[in-house]
Structure 1
Amino acid sequence: MTWTVSGCVVTLAILFIWRVDDLAEACSCAPAHPQQAFCNSDVVIRAKVMSANRVAVGSDVYGNPVKRLKYDIKLIKTFKGPSQDIDAVYTAPISSLCGVTLDLEGQMEYLIMGKLETDGTVHVTLCDFIEPWESMSPIQRKSLTQRYEMGCGCKITRCESVPCTLSSETECLWTDWVMDNNVSGNQAKHFACIQRSDSSCAWYRGAAPPKKDFLDIEEP
């Protein structure tokens, strides 16, 4: 009897550890260039976070209430999305379920990219591109209205280790990870991948094409 109880305890402990690991890995996602995130998102807005509270948004298959964290926002500008005003964004209540934590202290302004649900609500996760507005570069801000959409027909391929190659003229090689050791480097902050008149794609910075020496490094 003692062995049986211990065995059950061990089994439960193993199941618990497995479940925790499963939750921890549930939110893994590959980093995306801001342009990729823009093109893949239903909604792209600039907003100020005003308050937050937990709300019930329905029930699961067992009848248990499903909770979401609701951030009430003040919409400043819509770059992509529905014509109606958005007054809130929803996320999972904990980070292990991809829940997003936004700063409430200073009512910060954020660039928020997310998914538009069928009921008209906006849902965001840790895999979405969400950045404080002040931390974005001038070119990133400009690209939200003038650049990123022009490149949605292009593919941005992330280089994780050299050598890196492209398989198509419609790709741009994203090398921030190998050049700057992070995914918020020079290309993410200052470049957009734009489709040219011949349907090929190339990195584009501001009002002038990228320097040739940069292209030699980025596109071997």
Structure 2
Amino acid sequence: MSWFMKSCTLPLVLLCMWQLQEGAQACSCLRMHPQTLICQADVIIKAKVVAEKYEGEYNNTIKYDIDQTMTFKGPERIFHTVYTQSSSARCGRTLTIGTEYFIAGLLNSEGLLRISLCDYVGPWEVVRAGQLSLVQRYMRNCDCDISYCAAFSCDMSNPTGCLFADWLPFDLICTKRRDGSCAWYKAPVLAK
């Protein structure tokens, strides 16, 4: 084996291993309370999916054509499309044609609505009237910070925040109190 081949072999093997590792990585989302997802969303709408089309150089993006029927948050314009990655490994979300969705997504730098597995998106039929009132209450309390706590004992020294843990129910609202601090409040959920 020549000197050139010997000197290139190890870097080439390392590069191939790095590429395999890069390709094997999957989507991962930070654990967040629904209030955080609602507050971080640029756009919250109700829309029906009417068509889908794969786009991009390697068909790596799905463009869903939608009929938007309600706006809860965001610019006063009608969105006709929503974009996502075509692979769940890249955090892409699959939507079903003919289904109405509650969509809380982000706008990219071009003003296009984008969603991922990390966003708050679900079929409209499972969104009850009470959940819509929760969404409105979430939006009124976006000044409160919600921190995820993975351990049993977490220090919360921020008075304008609430700690969220897996054992807490999702129908709690981190609410701003009169003194400016924030605390969890259990909101009554209305039946449909």
TM-score by length of 2: 0.81
Cα distance in 1 between the residues matched to 2:134 and 2:161: 18
Cα distance in 2 between the residues matched to 1:16 and 1:200: 52
**What per-residue deviation string (whole Å, max 9, x for no partner) do you get for residues 131-188 of structure 1?**
223334554321222x01221110112121212231122111212x1x2xxxxx62x2
Cα distance in 2 between the residues matched to 1:38 and 1:24: 30
Cα distance in 1 between the residues matched to 2:34 and 2:112: 22
Match of 2:64 among 71, 77, 102: 71
Higher helix share: 1
Letter in 2 for 1:168: N
Residue of structure 1 equivalent to 2:85: 92
Please tell me whether the aligned partners of residues 59 and 86 of structure 2 are also in contact (alpha carbons under 8 angstroms).
no
Cα distance in 1 between the residues matched to 2:154 and 2:69: 40
**What per-residue deviation string (whole Å, max 9, x for no partner) do you get for residues 113-146 of structure 1?**
211123321111222222223334554321222x
Residue of structure 2 equivalent to 1:47: 47
Cα distance in 1 between the residues matched to 2:173 and 2:184: 6
Consecutive unaligned residues in structure 2, runs of 5 or more: none
Cα distance in 2 between the residues matched to 1:103 and 1:12: 43
Residue of structure 2 equivalent to 1:158: 148
Structure 2 residue matching 1:37: 3-state secondary structure: helix
Structure 2 residue matching 1:21: 3-state secondary structure: helix
Cα distance in 2 between the residues matched to 1:193 and 1:15: 47
Percent identity of equivalent pairs: 37
Residue of structure 2 equivalent to 1:140: 131
Write the mapping of 1:108-127 to structure 2, written as runs, cut at 5 A.
108-127=99-118
Residue of structure 1 equivalent to 2:173: 192
Residue of structure 2 equivalent to 1:212: none
Q: Give the superposed CA RMSD.
A: 2.8
Letter in 2 for 1:158: Y
Could you tell me how far 1:66 is from its partner in structure 2? 7.8
Structure 1 residue matching 2:132: 3-state secondary structure: helix
**What per-residue deviation string (whole Å, max 9, x for no partner) do you get for residues 88-133 of structure 1?**
10112222222211223xx222221211123321111222222223
Structure 2 residue matching 1:111: 3-state secondary structure: strand
Letter in 2 for 1:81: G
Structure 2 residue matching 1:82: 3-state secondary structure: coil
TM-score by length of 1: 0.72
Could you tell me how far 1:12 is from its partner in structure 2? 6.2
Cα distance in 2 between the residues matched to 1:24 and 1:78: 38
Structure 2 residue matching 1:102: 3-state secondary structure: coil
Note closer, same or farther for the CA distance 1:136–1:195 as it changes in structure 2 (3 Å cut). Answer: same
Cα distance in 2 between the residues matched to 1:137 and 1:173: 26
Write the mapping of 1:203-214 to structure 2, written as runs, cut at 5 A.
203-207=184-188
Could you tell me how far 1:19 is from its partner in structure 2? 2.6
Letter in 1 for 2:152: V
Letter in 2 for 1:91: T
Structure 1 residue matching 2:106: 3-state secondary structure: strand
Matched, 1:101 2:94: yes
Structure 2 residue matching 1:141: 3-state secondary structure: helix
Consecutive unaligned residues in structure 1, runs of 5 or more: 57-63, 180-184, 209-220
